Chain A
Amino acid sequence: MRGVNKMSILINKDTNVLVLGITGKSGALQTKVMKEYGTNIVAGVTPGKGGSFVEGIPVYDFVKEAMENHRIDVAISFVPPAFAKDSCFEVIDNGIKFFVLTSEGIPDHDVIDILGYAKLKGTRMLGPGTAGIIAPGKCKLGAHPGSMYLEGRVGVVSKSGALSYEVGKTLTEAGVGQSTVLAIGGGPIWGMTQRDAVELFNEDEETEIIVLLGEIGGSLEDEAAEYIAANVTKPVVAMIVGRAAPQGKSLGHAGAIIEGTKGTAKSKIETLTKAGVHIAKNPEEIVSIIKSIRGVN
């Protein structure tokens, strides 16, 4: 395989992609944008639309048929929430090892069934409700605007999609490139977590510095901090948003709510600081911390 020492985490230049829900409005538009970026989309699946083409890409009725005709490494789904569960089972049953689930609003019980089944079958899931993942200059799966990213050696994991664009843009404008940028989704239930991404970045030869973007509510960042303290040898820079958030009000993401003293930005920042993580207050500080770690100005 080409580019053995050019592996970013999870996806790279040689990744062959299957798009679920490729004929839908969102699926077709995103397929076009991903293809323009250089992502190798080899096939799509929409039940009942087999034999047609989207952006020149062949569409099949079943994942099995797409697999028989193409080498497929990863899948991304734009299937509407009510139909997500069955289509996810189909992808998982076909042995695809990495699956990006962008759909938002899937019932929690379905999400639990999907993620539980994926775990049993060994499929790594990103999402649901994720903006996706981009390996700048190589491949993008999802909504990350290509122009905001630059190939390089900083790995970025975020809960929020928009925040991962914001930080990507700021890094890129400062000339700081990224190995891979991914968003895990707003929750309240996740496949990959920030901890899982940190683990992959720590093992990834392409990644030199890890950026962790979190927010108030829940305990994912604390779990990542625990992992970092015990295992991570690379420098980690974190930004936790919601420092100025009020108590007891949910801010856009299901889990972004402070109740009592749990899940506050303050407590997360303390836990991360104890784990040896550098803390930034805004995206521009992330840049300056990275530059000082690298010893450049």
Chain B
Amino acid sequence: MKLYEFEGKRIFKEHGIPVPKGNVLTSAKDNVEVDAPAVIKAQVLTGGRGKAGGIKIWDGENNAADLLNDIFSQELKGEPVRAVLVEEKADILQEYYLSITFKGSTATPLIVASAAGGVEIENVAAETPEKIITMEFNAITGPTDYQIRYMANKIGYENFKEFKMLINNLYTAFKSSDATLVEINPLVSTPNGLVALDAKVVLDDNARFRHEDMHLKFIKEQKSLEGIENYVEPKEDTITYVPLSGDVGLISDGAGTGMLSLDLIKDAGGEAANFCELGGITNAQTMYDSLDRVANNKNVKSILIVLIGGFNRMDDMANGIVRYKEEKGLNIPVAIRMCGTKEEEGKEIMKQANIPTFNNLLEAVNYAVTNAGGE
């Protein structure tokens, strides 16, 4: 779960990371609780806010209400501005970039720092990667003093004690909230020390069981900003559904075979209407729910179901498909490739219900593409 800046800063503050004084507004009529000069910042979950005009300076000469009205009327990359953070303007001496995340291939936590912080960090990474200092460390030791000293030295920040405290606090925030990313961009030095001007925090949904209250609070807060009060979470499933622009509906019981099927549909001259993968929970109900989503897309002219069971059982899959056909009808061509665990049982169920199955993946793809009207 991505957090808004003001939510991330709440976590920062709890862990002793200095942030500017400020308050959150949910309407242009709310009171601004800081004096000019101040920075007015749109609260959105998409990146690139600064470049898109989502940050304004209130210098005391201009009218705060006009600036607020302007920001609240914006949409940033399609996301309407529903909250604004107004903060005292910091006296910036130098901007830095600082983040902690994981590196997947080495399975280590990683600190990334740069003396070239700010909105252009992506360009810095692309054009002058030597200005970005990365430091992998072991989760068991945490970031060690010499590593922090190395980073402070490389980004040219002289107050090592202060930098160390900041890194340690940020790491504690990262670890104790089970975040997968904590990012400060920019981190700035001021006459009064380091201050986090921005906060990007991503929480690990898999760790929710350890932080149920915190997750629920953030979910409700975010939904409430969207105007949804008393939000009830949908019942949990593991389906990944991504709408696409074609006419061949696609369901797979694996992400890799789903992507392969997308490719094969395209190679056969067709185009998929969606990507739909069952995920970790594979039972008859998941199959039923997936079919419901895919078949309800009006663009879908045929459906391709690619199943290859390991943990997944084909009798469960067949039961889900047959029940869907009985209850909702399935009046478009469906190509089902079914094999693996409990294959014989699954095929028998399909046979009883008069639904044909394929053994060969390419044949199933061709059938689905041809019947969708592709070449």
Contacts and interface: CB of A to CB of B under 8 A. Distances in A.
Interface stretch (B3-11, B66-74, B252-260, B320-328): B252-260
B178 A109 contact: yes
Nearest to A78: B311
A113 B275 contact: no
Interface stretch (A45-53, A56-64, A279-287): A279-287
Interface residues of B, number: 49
A255 interface: yes
B223 interface: no
B109 interface: yes
Contact of B263 (A161, A166, A190, A244): A244
Contacts of A141: none
Contacts of B272: 244
Interface in A1-57: 26, 30, 33
B199 to A, nearest CB: 19
Contacts of A241: 256, 259-260, 262-263
Given A108-B204, A163-B254, A215 B259 contact: yes
Contacts of A213: 256
A242 B265 CA distance: 11
Q: Which of B105, B108, B138, B275 has the most CB of A within 10 A?
A: B105
A189 B266 contact: no
Contacts of B280: 104-105
Nearest to A158: B256
B356 interface: no
Interface stretch (B50-58, B187-195, B206-214): B206-214
Contact of B108 (A112, A193, A281, A284): A112
A236 interface: no
A187 B180 CA distance: 13
Contacts of B255: 160, 162, 186, 215, 251-253, 256
A189 B104 contact: yes
Contacts of A111: 107
B140 A116 contact: yes
B104 A162 contact: no
Given A104-B280, A115-B107, A161-B254, A251 B242 contact: yes
B interface secondary structure, majority: mixed
B92 interface: no
A107 B206 contact: yes
A188 interface: yes
Interface stretch (A143-151, A198-206, A270-278): A143-151
A104 B238 CA distance: 11
A190 B103 CA distance: 9
B217 to A, nearest CB: 19
Nearest to A213: B256
Nearest to A129: B280
Interface in B134-176: 138-140, 175
A98 interface: no
Nearest to B246: A244
Nearest to A110: B207
B107 A189 contact: yes
Nearest to B256: A160
Interface residues of A, number: 70
A289 interface: no
Interface in A223-276: 223, 239, 241-246, 249-253, 255-256
B311 A143 contact: yes
B341 A145 contact: yes
Contacts of A246: 242, 244
Contacts of A117: 140
Given A148-B340, A160-B255, A112 B263 contact: no
B258 A251 contact: yes
A220 interface: yes
A188 B263 contact: no
B22 interface: no
Contacts of B267: 281-282
Contact of A245 (B107, B140, B262): B262
A116 B308 contact: no
Contacts of A112: 102, 107-109, 139
Interface string B33-51: 0000000000000000000
Interface string B330-362: 000000000111000000000000000000011
Contacts of B308: 145, 162, 165-166, 169
Q: Which of A163, A251, A252 has the most CB of B within 10 A?
A: A252
B256 A109 contact: no
A108 B263 contact: no
Contacts of A119: 107
Contacts of B139: 109, 112-113, 116
A266 B145 CA distance: 42
B310 A143 contact: yes
Given A251-B242, A251-B255, A107 B178 contact: yes
A190 B341 CA distance: 26
B16 interface: no
B104 A187 contact: yes
Interface in B17-34: none
Contacts of B175: 109
A242 B361 contact: no
Given A244-B262, A244-B265, A244-B272, A190 B104 contact: yes
Contacts of A284: 362
18 contacts: A30-B311, A109-B207, A112-B109, A131-B311, A159-B256, A161-B256, A165-B254, A169-B339, A170-B361, A188-B104, A189-B104, A220-B104, A241-B263, A244-B262, A251-B275, A252-B254, A253-B256, A256-B259
Given A145-B309, A281-B263, 11 more contacts: A106-B206, A107-B207, A112-B109, A144-B310, A161-B310, A166-B260, A218-B105, A220-B105, A251-B277, A253-B256, A283-B260
